[in-house]
């Protein structure tokens, strides 16, 4: 919990600075790149958490990896983090920044799971239905799971709508497990 609060404070400071410099969109794109790279690359996470590697070496690694791909503000921010010894928090800070950005821009992340890849018409239909109950814009993250047979699962924040065929079958299975008919001979 302490690590998340610390990461949120750093992310908030970066977000406020990015708002002042009117680069919040660019920094958001940077944080998406960094979060993805740090999530996928275990070796990079090890290097950042290794106390034997000097901060200057860690900074040069970050500049070499991300220097041409991210903004100058993000690079300066990483220099501050590494100088303060907070390089282990970089993935969590990136995630917290993304959350702040989405919250500020009134965007909700909608996780959509379908049996087959969802096309734009399905996304537009779901977005129109959600728009009736909320004023948030939706950012879709889609995935497929053939095990749901058909239908979809939609998760927005803590709300989950499970309209899958496998869920309907499971509910019917429970209903038929109840033996309401008792033979009396």
Among 103, 131, 160, which residue terminates a domain?
103
Q: How many Cβ atoms sit within 10 Å of the Cβ of residue 109?
A: 15
pLDDT of amino acid 174: 83
- Looking at the fold, whether 122 and 161 belong to one and the same domain comes out as yes
Q: Are residues 111 and 168 in the same domain?
A: yes
Residue 185 has pLDDT above 60, yes or no: no
Same domain, 151 and 116: yes
118 and 81, same structural domain? no
- What is the average pLDDT across 79-100? 93
Residue 20 φ/ψ, nearest 5 degrees: -60, -40
Whether residue 19 sits in one domain with residue 90? yes
Same domain as 35, residue 116: no
What gap in Å lies between CA 87 and CA 67, rounded to an integer?
16
* Any domain includes 29: yes
Calculate mean pLDDT across residues 148-177: 88
At 128, the pLDDT band (50, 70, 90 cuts) reads confident
97, part of any domain: yes
| Residue labelled with tokens 């890849």 | 117
Q: Is the confidence at residue 33, as pLDDT, over 80?
A: yes
Report d(CA 120, CA 87) in Å as an integer: 39
Q: pTM of the prediction?
A: 0.78
- CATH code, 11: 1.10.520.20
Question: For the chain, what is the domain count?
Answer: 2
Specify whether 91 is located in the same domain as 123.
no
Q: How confident is the model at residue 95 (pLDDT cuts 50, 70, 90)?
A: very high
E-state strands within 130-171:
137-144, 151-156, 159-164
Which residues have CB under 8 Å from 78's CB, separation 6+? 59, 62, 66, 87, 90
Q: Give the pLDDT score at 3.
A: 85
Please tell me the distance from the alpha carbon of residue 175 to that of residue 129, in angstroms, as a whole number: 30
Note whether 82 and 116 are same-domain residues: no
In this structure, the answer to whether residues 151 and 137 fall within a common structural domain is yes
Query: Are the CB atoms for 118 and 142 separated by under 8 Å?
Result: yes
118 & 95 share domain: no
Domain holding 95, by residue range, is 2-103
Average per-residue pLDDT in the chain?
89
Residue 123: pLDDT band with limits 50, 70, 90: confident
Asked if residue 21 has pLDDT above 80, the reply is: yes
Q: Are residues 118 and 98 in the same domain?
A: no
The alpha-helical segments, DSSP class H, found in 84-177 are 90-104, 120-133, 165-177
- Name the domain boundary from 52, 85, 103: 103
Assigned domain for 185 exists? no
Report pLDDT digits (tens) over 170-183.
Answer: 888 888 777 666 66
Instruction: Indicate the residue among 46, 76, 103 that finishes a domain.
Output: 103
Judge if 122 and 91 occupy the same domain.
no
Closest CA to 62 of 80, 95, 10: 80
């Amino acid at each position: 919990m302490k690590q998340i609060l610390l990461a949120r404070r750093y992310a908030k400071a970066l977000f406020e600075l990015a708002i002042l410099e009117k680069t919040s969109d660019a920094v958001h794109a940077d944080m998406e790149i960094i979060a993805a790279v740090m999530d996928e690359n275990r070796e990079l996470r090890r290097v950042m958490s290794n106390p034997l590697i000097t901060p200057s070496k860690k900074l040069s690694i970050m500049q070499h990896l991300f220097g041409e791909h991210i903004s100058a503000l993000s690079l300066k921010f990483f220099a501050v983090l590494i100088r303060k010894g907070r390089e282990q928090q970089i993935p969590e800070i990136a995630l917290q920044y993304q959350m702040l950005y989405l919250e500020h821009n009134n965007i909700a992340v909608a996780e959509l799971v379908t049996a087959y890849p969802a096309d734009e018409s399905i996304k537009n239909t779901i977005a129109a239905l959600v728009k009736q109950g909320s004023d948030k814009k939706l950012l879709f993250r889609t995935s497929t799971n053939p095990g749901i047979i058909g239908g979809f699962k939609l998760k927005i924040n803590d709300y989950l709508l499970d309209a899958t065929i496998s869920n309907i079958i499971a509910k019917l299975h429970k209903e038929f497990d109840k033996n309401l008919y008792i033979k009396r001979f």
